[in-house]
Amino acid sequence: MKKSTDKPKKRIGGKTALVILVILLVYIAAVTLAALVIDGRHVRFYMTAPQEMNLECFEAYQEPGIYAVTTGKLFGEGKKHLHVDVSSDLDNTRLGEYTVKYTVRYLLQDYSTERRVQVVDTVAPVLELKYVEGYQASWFTGYEEEGYTATDNYDGDLTDKVESYEEENRKVYTVTDSSGNTTTMVREPLYIYTEPEITLYGDSELYVNASLSFEDPGYYAQDKMGNDMTGFVQVSGQVCPYRAGDYEITYYIESPTGDSVSAQRTVHVLPIRNPDTVTPDSKTIYLTFDDGPGPYTGRLLDVLAKYNAKATFFVTGANPKYYDQIGRAYNEGHAVGVHTYSHNYRSIYSSEEAFFQDFNAVQDLICDQTGSYTKICRFPGGSSNTVSNFNPGIMTSLAGALTDLGYQYFDWNVSSGDAGETTDTDTVAENIINGCAGRKASVVLQHDIKDYSVNAVEQVLIWGINNGYVFRALDASSPNAHHGINN
């Protein structure tokens, strides 16, 4: 049998094969790593929406889309989408800018990118107008707010931020939230335009004689719906009834919206013509007595009656106990004139209104006692007084007013001296006699509240009668003996 001459083949052991495999893998890895290094392999992100975006507040964030792939210079872009981790601090309940971060782990390295999300409020507030059932505004009453509410999805209740204004019979409301979103609403028509009309009773141009009072003929007002609006009429302008002149009175209604309607009346106050002064045809003495009636007035009237002499009493309201003497004097043919009710200079001459309030009180007293008003008067202190100087011009004004009213005011040209110069009866009589001697018309000043002055009257009467004098009462045509006005 022939022996084989071939040597048996040697087998590679298991360990050797493993070493070779490892070497091969290392080589492949080295080649691959070298290729990747040369390729510059990295991660690229693709966003399917803009990198900066807005999100309405309270709206849930929905990821708009992103994916990542690898890319390099040698092998280009891979087709496989990598896993992307998403993280964010976004709070959709608060306005502001937030970041959404995307991260990919590749070859032991983290790659990331960001999307900026602005949480915004672009929704305007909700403005609701309230309406009161049956409410209806008019031209005069204007519009009374019925109410409104305003709410915002972000700011909440904005009712107190509502601003409004009226224009052309409508009301405009606006409200703006903290993001600048504005809502505007209009309420119209705001009210029914029924402008009233004022109608005057009597003529729109009146002519009246000067008097102590003026009564307006009146007016009424009505809107176009027939509603009586007389109670809403206001009046401006005044008539001074005791001073001649032209006066304008305006009657008007003004609405809360600033509209107005009006009517005018002109009142012409005409002066009353005084009778012409008549100079007596014989020597005349006009005895005048101020400040009564008083406790000696009755005795004075007895003396005057004894000699059939007439006198004039410028009365006051100081002594109610003796008011009846006013009526007696009048009924016995004497003249009664206004002096003053209070004789309080500071009050009487404080204003025209105060003077005539006092004046009218005496007139009413005289009318109560005599049945008629008088047209003669004497200023407290006389027209030339200086006690009224605290109110400059008051005497000039009052003298003009009384003249316009048809009154005749009397001063005097003979003084008895009983107003402080003397308390002696014979001296009073002598002063009067000396003052009257040689005069055609004498207006004598005395006071019947002073007994020594009343006691002198009989002497004067006897002297006057013996010397051809007549004792008369004053009337509107008598010589007035005016003094020069000092104020």
The partner residues of 463 in beta bridges, in order of sequence, read none
90 neighbors 100 (Cβ within 8 angstroms): yes
CATH of domain 197-270: 2.60.40.10
122 neighbors 179 (Cβ within 8 angstroms): yes
Looking at the annotation, which residues are catalytic?
290, 447
Mean pLDDT of the chain: 92
Greater confidence, 419 or 17?
A: 419
pLDDT tens-digit series, residues 319-358: 999 999 999 999 999 999 999 999 999 999 999 999 999 9
Cis geometry, peptide bond prior to residue 275 (ω within 30 degrees of 0): no
Nearest to 131 by CA among 143, 119, 115: 143
What's the pLDDT band for 1 if we cut at 50, 70, 90? very low
Pick the CATH number of 126-187 from 1.10.357, 3.40.50, 2.60.40, 3.30.70: 2.60.40
The pLDDT of residue 191 = 76
| Residue 161 zone, left/alpha/beta (φ > 0; ψ -120 to 50; rest) | alpha
Burial 17-29 (b: 16+ CB within 10 A, else e): eeeeeeeeeeeee
Output the pTM of the full model: 0.60
Task: Give the Cα separation of 170 and 165 in Å (integer).
Answer: 9
| Mean pLDDT for the stretch of residues 159-176 | 93
Task: State the CATH architecture for 284-471.
Answer: Alpha-Beta Barrel (3.20)
In the chain, list all ranges with CATH 2.60.40.10: 40-120, 197-270
Any alpha helices (H) in 283-382, and if so which ranges?
A: 297-306, 324-331, 345-348, 352-370
Is 40-120 a domain of CATH 3.40.50.720? no
What one-character-per-residue DSSP string does 364-402 give? HHHHHHHSS--SEE--TT-TT-STTTTSTTHHHHHHHHH
pLDDT tens-digit series, residues 294-327: 999 999 999 999 999 999 999 999 999 999 999 9
| Mean pLDDT for the stretch of residues 118-143 | 90
Which single residue is written with the structure tokens 């210079």?
Answer: 73
pLDDT tens-digit series, residues 427-467: 999 999 999 998 999 999 999 999 999 999 999 999 999 99
pLDDT tens-digit series, residues 400-430: 999 999 999 999 999 999 999 999 999 999 9
Percent of the chain's residues with pLDDT above 90: 78
